[in-house]
Amino acid sequence: MEFPVETGEIPGFDTDVLVVGGGLVGQSLAIALAQAGVSVHVVDRAVPETTLAPEHDGRASAISFASQQMLRAIGVWNDIAESQPILGIRVTDRNSPLHIHFDHKGLGGEPFGAMVENRHMRLGLHTTLKRTTVRNTAPESLKSFVTNPFGVEATLESGDVVHARMLVAADGARSQTRDMAGIGTRGWSYDQWGIVTTVAHERPHEGIAHERFLNPGPFAILPLTGNRSSLVWTEAPAMAAEMVKLGDERFGEELRARFGDFLGEIRTIGPRWRYPLHLRLADSYVADRFALVGDAAHAMHPIAGQGLNLGLRDAAALAEVIVDAHRLGLDIASADVLARYERWRRLDGLTLLSVTDGLNKLFAPNSGPVAWARDFGLAAVNQMPPVKQFFVNHARGTVGKLPKLLRGEQIAP
Amino acid sequence: MTANAATRSPQQSPGSLDANAGSVDADEVARFGNLSQDWWNPTGSMRALHQINPLRIGYVRDLLCEQLGSTPKDPSPLTGAAILDVGCGAGLLAEPLARLGANVTGIDASPEMIQAAQIHADGTATSVDYRATTAENLAASGKTFDAVLVMELVEHVADVDSLMTACCRMVRPGGVMIAATLNRTARSLVFGIGAAEYVLGWAPRGTHDWRKFLRPSELGGHIRGGGLTVTDLTGITYSPIAREWKLSRDVGINYMVAAKKTLGD
């Protein structure tokens, strides 16, 4: 007695993973997955010619040592035209003579990471991506999606329908995909805006990053290739709006007042950007057949330069849990696979968010004892190697259980 | 008993199936859908099986890769392997192996189970040849396979000898068999049944009868009796501190046996 079961045509999926948002984190995730044999389709609302143009994104990112390892492991690092290693970090509080200096030589020898201009990073990712099987559609965006027990049916703006086993939202801090999934966020806006610009200076920076705590907020001078530095400057909202409108001459004066003359003559090159600063964390990193990565999951104060690094860590962890399941023929987006990603990443996001928020509050302008303790603290930390090592490990991104890619390893077993 | 569930689109949930084959009514298909969903739920009644599933798939995959000369990193490492999964249930093992490229036949004595397995395979767009039949019946047809899997089954059947004889017959010369069960030890009584079924609730109470568990020597005896040579014995153990399952040399509770049928037998 036998009961055969008819098997008709199998409907099939168009792709394993649909990634909405082809930014730095979305593309890194797509590359890591594709290299391990998972099929990926990326949609991005911007035209590639626009995002790859030098004037599209004048910002630079501090890539931690661990993130650098990941970009090496997925082959992107070689496609990045230029980068500046960060050899030292110097933290000062206003005009206090006390400071803390982290030198890479005394602390393991490896640089803390590297400064990479976003335009170089975008070009590098684009080059690597073209060598993979990733399907890239732009300009295109997600109109709506419906989740079923086995996958996601996504309808795109063009009317195309994509059947994927899972959907990943990598569409930034104001992720519409996250809203569509019904995942809320918590957080607040700081009464600060960030101003970003690039300066050329007379004397070499020796690869040292400077973080200064001024009254309106942190002011960072981050070394770029040649005699150039990237500035991240926080100001009260009204002041920030005025600053970006100033003529070059006046802006230069304001800049010199904060920057000082330790690098000789300085002048701004390239445009100025300003953006509001928020702290925001998604209520959940996952839903049925759905995951958030990068700024869609968390937005933070740029004080520690960790936003992109945190996003790359999300990408590496999500790629690892998906590939682990894929290599066993298991469902890549089952509830337990996504729960593993959530457990792995959300606590890290929460910790870094609180640390950066705490730092910003600690260095907010305060009266007497707090300011004194802060300065004394900086000097004290400077004298205590183990405490310094703790901060250095955080800066390098080598804290906690690292995804394989961040240890510079391949995901493959 | 036949139902055509394959023509539906994957967007429909199994609960809302349109059973367009005359012999099956919608209520029944809905019931299989629920059965399928429950089996495939990592925190449902098959929780314990889900926990050890990655380990047993990895074990089977690596052993077959060795046979095939492929590596687990290859896109479809089991391409070309004809596998029989005896007592496949809702396809927890059969489906992943098919996705790794193998030609999988899954048999289960329960037509409801096979129906549930088929519904899930259709949903995930995986091709598995599911049949509601017994090992004895399939063996009578003379069919043979590169690999025959008898996983977590012998402890549930009335006649182990008859089952194992049939399974051994279906291994082609040069092919392999992998069998898994629970050892009949004091520890398996305490942990395999007591803890798993009564304390932790990983499996429904009454899932296992300790007296039906087989010692490795007994299972090995059945396999040798079927003309195969045992090549490996590996335990699966749970570490309550790390909260994870691992392959180990400790075969005191869960274990797997690999065996090979020599060519020219």
Q: How confident is the model at residue A211 (pLDDT cuts 50, 70, 90)?
A: confident
Q: Which residue of B37, B99, B137 is in closest CB contact with A149?
A: B37
Residue A140 dihedral angles phi and psi, to the nearest 5°: -160, 145
Residues from chain B contacting residue A154 (CB–CB below 8 Å): none
CB contact under 8 A, A13 and B100: no
Q: What average pLDDT score do residues B174-202 get?
A: 82
If one compares A365 and B240, the residue with the highest pLDDT of the two is B240
Nearest CB to B111 within list A3, A329, A336:
A3
Give me the DSSP letters along A73-101. HTT-GGG----EEE-EEEEEETT-S-EEE
pLDDT exceeds 60 at position B28: no
Chain B residue nearest residue A162, CA to CA: B11
* pLDDT, tens digit, 9 for 90 and up, residues B151-177: 999 888 889 999 999 999 999 999 999
Judge whether B7 lies within some domain: no
**Chain A residues touching residue B115 (CB < 8 angstroms):** 5
Domain with B57, as residue range(s), is 14-260
Mutate to test the interface with A, among B20, B55, B122, B137 (most CBs of A within 10 A): B122
Min CA distance, B190 vs chain A (Å)?
27
In angstroms, the CA B115 to CA B33 distance is 8
Contact A10 B123 (CB under 8 A): no
Q: Which residues of B touch A11 (CB under 8 A)?
A: 9-10, 122, 125
Least confident of A212-216, A312-316, B104-108, B127-131: A212-216
CB contact under 8 A, A150 and B50: no
Q: What is the pLDDT of residue A397?
A: 61
Count of domains forming chain B: 1
User: How far apart are alpha carbons B88 and B96 in whole angstroms?
Assistant: 12
- On whether the CB atoms of residues A196 and A204 are closer than 8 A, the answer is no
Query: What tokens does A220 get?
Result: 């960072």
For residues B106 and B153, the answer to whether their CB atoms sit within 8 Å is no
- Verify whether the Cβ–Cβ distance A153 to B11 is below 8 Å: yes
Alpha helices, DSSP H only, in A283-384? Answer: 307-326, 335-362, 368-382
Q: Which residue has the tokens 């930014």?
A: A23
The more confident residue out of B103 and A356 is B103
| pLDDT score of B10 | 33
**Exposed, middle or buried: residue A205 (CB in 10 Å: 0-12, 13-18, 19+)?**
buried
Give CA A117 to chain center in angstroms: 13
As separate numbers, helices (DSSP H) first and strands (DSSP E) second, chain A gives: 11, 20
If we measure between CA atoms, which residue out of A238, A196, A245, A250 comes closest to residue A221? A196
pLDDT score at A373: 46
In Å, how far is A40's CA from the nearest CA of chain B?
Answer: 14
Contact yes or no for B4 and A4 at CB 8 A = no
- Three-class SS state of B90: coil
Task: Please check whether residue B246 lies inside any domain of the structure.
Answer: yes
The ipTM, to two decimals, is: 0.83
Considering only CB atoms, B122 lies closest to which of A10, A146, A336, namely: A10
Mean pLDDT over the full length of chain A:
84
> What angle, 0 to 180 degrees and rounded to 10, lies between the N-to-C axes of helices B216-225 and B160-169?
50
Q: Which of A13, A151, A328 sits opposite B54 (nearest CB)?
A: A328
pLDDT at B15: 33
CA B129 to chain A, closest CA, distance in angstroms equals 8
Tokens 């918590």 -> residue:
A186
Of A1, A10, A330, the CB nearest to B125: A10
pLDDT in tens, A12-65: 899 999 999 999 999 999 999 999 999 999 999 998 888 888 777 778 888 988
**Out of A81-90, A230-239, A344-353, least confident range:** A344-353
**B23 pLDDT tier (thresholds 50, 70, 90):** very low
Of A3, A330, A413, the CB nearest to B132: A3
Section A71-86 average pLDDT: 95
Q: Mean pLDDT over residues B189-200, rounded? A: 73
Contacts of A328 in chain B (CB under 8 A): 54, 57-58, 61, 96, 100
Question: Given an 8 Å threshold on Cβ–Cβ distance, is A330 in contact with B57?
Answer: yes
Q: Which pLDDT tens digit goes with each residue over A164-174?
A: 999 999 999 89
Is A181's pLDDT higher than 70? yes
Q: Where are the beta strands (DSSP E) in chain B?
A: 82-86, 103-108, 129-132, 145-151, 171-182, 229-239, 244-248, 254-260
Q: With beta carbons less than 8 A apart as the criterion, state whether B165 and B226 touch.
A: yes
Residues of B in contact with A413 (CB under 8 A): 72-73
- What SS3 class is residue A234? strand
- Give B-chain residues touching A1 at CB under 8 angstroms: 133, 137
pLDDT of the residue at B265: 47
Among B54, B125, B131, the residue with its CB nearest the CB of A12 is B125
Note whether B3 contacts A5, CB cutoff 8 Å. yes
Q: Judge contact between A295 and A224, C-beta under 8 A.
A: no
* Shortest distance, CA B209 to any CA of chain A (angstroms): 28
Name all domains of chain A by residue range, CATH numbers in brackets.
15-406 (3.50.50.60)
CB contacts of A37 in chain B (<8 Å) are 75
pLDDT in tens, A343-353: 888 777 666 66
- Count contacts between A and B (CB, < 8 Å): 103
Q: Among the listed ranges A316-320, A346-350, B148-152, B205-209, which one has the minimum average pLDDT value? A: A346-350
What are the helix (H) ranges across A187-290? 237-245, 248-259
The pairing of strands A298-299 and B129-132 is unpaired
**CA A97, CA A376: separation in Å to the nearest integer?**
11
Chain centre to alpha carbon of residue A372: 33
Taking the C-alpha atoms of residue B180 and residue B194, their distance in angstroms, rounded to an integer, is 20
> Taking CA atoms, what residue in A is nearest to B100?
A329
* Chain A residues touching chain B at CB-CB below 8 Å: 1-13, 37, 146, 148-151, 153, 163, 324, 327-331, 334-336, 412-413
- pLDDT bucket at A297, cuts 50 / 70 / 90: very high
pLDDT band, very low/low/confident/very high, at A5 (cuts 50, 70, 90): very low
* CATH number reported for the structural domain that contains residue B44 in this entry: 3.40.50.150
Average pLDDT for residues B144-150, to the nearest whole number? 98
Handedness of CA A213, A219, A223, A227 (dihedral sign): negative
**B129 half-sphere exposure, CB direction, 13 A CA radius:** 10
Inter-residue contact B21 to B4 (CB < 8 Å): yes
Percent of chain B predicted with pLDDT > 70: 86
